[in-house]
Amino acid sequence: MHKIMVILYKEWLEIRQQRMLIISMVLPPLIFALLPLVVVYGVAHTGSSGNLNLPRANNLSQLGHMSPAEVAQALVGMQLSVLFLLLPSIITSIVASYSVVGEKTSRTLEPLLATPTRTWELLVGKSLAALIPGVGVTWLSGLIFIIGMALLTSSQRVFFAIVSPGWLILFLVWSPLIGLISIAVMIAISSRVNDPRTAQQLSVWIIVPFFAVFFGQAAGIQVLGPVFTLIVAVILAALALLAVWVMTQIFQRETILTRWK
């Protein structure tokens, strides 16, 4: 545990020194928190909601008793709230790509592996260094989103339609799991490439499942109900375990030393 903390502390010292990395970590969460607030506020104050064609409203029981303006606000808010799924994946991928491939490019990996540090300690330290800021920033921006929604939605019914139990499960449980999967995939990819940008480009595929949820929600196929989100959380937990196992299999000290150039 001690060495994990040591690695974690070192990673944070390094992150603090990288302005571009910090901007990459802070900017998307700010946009993701503020964009829905602006749009929801706009929907409520432009008067355009009356002209919206909202066939989905008939399929969503929680919107049944709302006015057209409330329905418009709720639908837009619900749709944009799914964006928070992207954050843990984006941020952890950025941090992990620097922390793992960065060791390659700065040639610090050999001295690191020469210490009596176990592989799992190294991987846990690296993973936490990416996971904690990734999830932390996601939750912080989500908190801004929740507070903003509480202030800007036209009624409590709209607020609870957006910040629903299902969304809270997505936000609180899916986020760290998606972050963990992203890190594991990123470290696995990093074991095969030499450039942080290549690793990031390959890790883009991690966000594909997000689009399934986003467009499913948009098409009214799937509402983020608590049962659905819990089932997905269990599946994500299993995937996270699998991804971590694959990461430990791919991250072989010897392979890394003899193949990484």
Amino acid identity at 250? I
Position 254 contacts other proteins (CB under 8 A): yes
230: which residues sit within 8 A by CB, 6+ positions away? 169
Q: Which of 58, 59, 115, 201 binds other proteins (CB under 8 A)?
A: 115
Minimum separation from the CB atom of position 9 to other proteins (A): 8
233: which residues sit within 8 A by CB, 6+ positions away? 169, 173, 174, 177
Q: Which of 22, 27, 38, 114 binds other proteins (CB under 8 A)?
A: 114
Q: Which of 46, 111, 156, 219 binds other proteins (CB under 8 A)?
A: 111
Position 106 contacts other proteins (CB under 8 A): yes
Position 258 contacts other proteins (CB under 8 A): yes
Q: Is 231 exposed, middle or buried (0-12, 13-18, 19+ CB in 10 A)?
A: exposed
Near other proteins by CB under 8 A, which window of 133-141, 167-175, 235-243, 251-259? 251-259
Quick one: 56 or 104, whose CB is closer to other proteins? 104
- With CA atoms as reference, report the closest residue to 11 among 137, 135, 97, 115: 97
Minimum separation from the CB atom of position 32 to other proteins (A): 28
Minimum separation from the CB atom of position 5 to other proteins (A): 9
Neighbours of 145 (CB within 10 A): 27
Near other proteins by CB under 8 A, which window of 106-114, 133-141, 147-155, 189-197? 106-114
Near other proteins by CB under 8 A, which window of 63-71, 110-118, 152-160, 201-209? 110-118
Give how many residues touch other proteins by CB under 8 A. 27
Between CA 234 and CA 179 the distance in angstroms is: 15
Between CA 193 and CA 142 the distance in angstroms is: 33
Q: Which of 108, 194, 201, 249 binds other proteins (CB under 8 A)?
A: 108
Between CA 61 and CA 5 the distance in angstroms is: 48
Near other proteins by CB under 8 A, which window of 9-17, 24-32, 224-232, 233-241? 9-17
Position 94 contacts other proteins (CB under 8 A): no
Position 128 contacts other proteins (CB under 8 A): no
Near other proteins in 174-193, by CB under 8 A: none
Position 113 contacts other proteins (CB under 8 A): yes
Place of tokens 């989103």: 145
DSSP 157-205: HHHHHHS-HHHHHIIIIIHHHHHHHHHHHHHHHHTT-S-HHHHHHHHGG
**Which element (helix H / strand E) includes 104?**
helix 102-105
Between CA 200 and CA 147 the distance in angstroms is: 32
Residues that bind other proteins in the complex, under the rule CB under 8 A? 2-3, 6-7, 9-10, 13-14, 17-18, 106-118, 253-254, 257-258
